């Protein structure tokens, strides 16, 4: 199984600051089938990024994804109050699909 | 708009089975796979498996293969996930989610396994 390791575990930032989240895979993610999801407390996850760098429908352009192979990054250029949540990366190229353990972005 | 509406909270005893439903609307039902993902309390997301409503093909994570059955009913645009031989560590919120990647999610169904 492909293991996804996210870092850091927790990111403490203020609104307006830039957030950089990392996702490292134990082996190359085929066709860059790497997605990022945001989950707020008590809610279902929401797709943000797919194909490593493509924004999903209605996702603001302050969210961007980059990377290839085994190293991927989610960047939030300027944090808005509604952005604070848990973020997960997921590979959907090889079965079983796997998720990272999550990064919490909290208000400093 | 796409909507996935799941069945309600379940409480089961160890050893029992649970069947969760996920009713889809707002798109052509057989055009996208259904996935099942679970989340134990305070934990991360775990992919369980997927099913094609088009041809019934399934794929599941090895740890669930002998306990999970996924089906779809095209007449009602509903997907089902049954998990058997429940244990306490199956206590979780179970989500259905559409497509690859997971672009729309149900609201989640809490399944509690307790004696």
Model pLDDT for residues B30-50, shown as the tens digit of each residue: 999 999 999 999 999 999 999
Report the alpha-carbon angle A21-A26-A31, nearest 5.
80
Cα B91 from Cα B12, distance rounded (Å): 9
**B103 contacts A57? CB cut-off 8 A:** yes
Question: Cβ A88–B59 below 8 Å, yes or no?
Answer: no
Q: Categorize the per-residue pLDDT at A48 as very low, low, confident or very high, splitting at 50, 70 and 90.
A: very high
Asked if omega into B101 is within 30° of 0 (cis), the reply is yes
**Structure token digits, residue A34:** 């790497």
Nearest CB to B47; choose among A39, A44, A98: A98
Which whole-number Å values give the CA distances from B31 to A29, A72, A107, in the listed order? Answer: 25, 29, 40
Phi-psi region of B88 (alpha: psi -120 to 50; beta: other; left: phi over 0): alpha
CB contact under 8 Å between A100 and B44, yes or no, is yes
Q: What is the mean pLDDT of chain A?
A: 97
Summarize pLDDT for B86-108 with one digit per residue, the tens.
999 999 999 999 999 999 999 99
Q: Two tokens at B63?
A: 């740890």
- Say if residues B98 and B104 touch (Cβ distance below 8 Å): yes
Please give the Cα distance from B26 to B42 (Å, whole number).
Answer: 32
**Which chain A positions have a beta carbon within 8 Å of B62's beta carbon?**
96
Q: What does the pLDDT read at residue B79?
A: 98
Q: Tell whether the torsion through CA atoms of A42, A89, B79 and B104 is positive or negative.
A: positive
DSSP state of B32: S
* Longest pairwise C-alpha distance within chain A: 38
Q: What is the dihedral of CA A25, A26, A32, A37, to 10 degrees?
A: -30
Give chain A positions within 8 Å (CB) of B97. 44-45
Q: Which residues of A touch B102 (CB under 8 A)?
A: 35, 37, 45, 47, 90, 92
Residue B24: its pLDDT value, please? 97
């Amino acid at each position: 199984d492909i293991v996804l390791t996210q870092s850091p575990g927790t990111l403490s930032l203020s609104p307006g600051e830039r957030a950089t989240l990392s996702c490292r895979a134990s082996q190359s993610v085929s066709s860059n089938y790497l997605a990022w999801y945001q989950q707020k407390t008590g809610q279902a996850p929401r797709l943000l990024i797919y194909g490593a760098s493509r924004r999903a429908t209605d996702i603001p352009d302050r969210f961007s994804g980059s990377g290839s192979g085994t190293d991927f990054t989610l960047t939030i250029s300027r944090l808005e109050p509604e952005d604070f949540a848990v973020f997960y990366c997921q590979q959907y190229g090889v079965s079983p699909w796997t998720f990272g353990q999550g990064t919490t972005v909290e208000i400093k | 708009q796409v909507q996935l509406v799941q069945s309600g909270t379940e409480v089961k005893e160890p050893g029992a089975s649970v069947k969760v439903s996920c009713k889809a609307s707002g798109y052509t039902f057989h055009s996208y796979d259904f996935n099942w993902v679970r989340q134990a309390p305070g934990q991360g997301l775990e992919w369980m498996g997927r099913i094609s409503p088009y041809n019934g093909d399934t794929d599941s994570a090895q740890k669930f293969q002998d306990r999970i059955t996924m089906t779809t009913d095209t007449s009602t645009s509903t997907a089902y996930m049954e998990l058997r031989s429940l244990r306490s560590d199956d206590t979780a919120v179970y989500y259905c989610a559409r497509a690859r990647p997971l672009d729309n999610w149900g609201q989640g169904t809490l399944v509690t396994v307790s004696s």
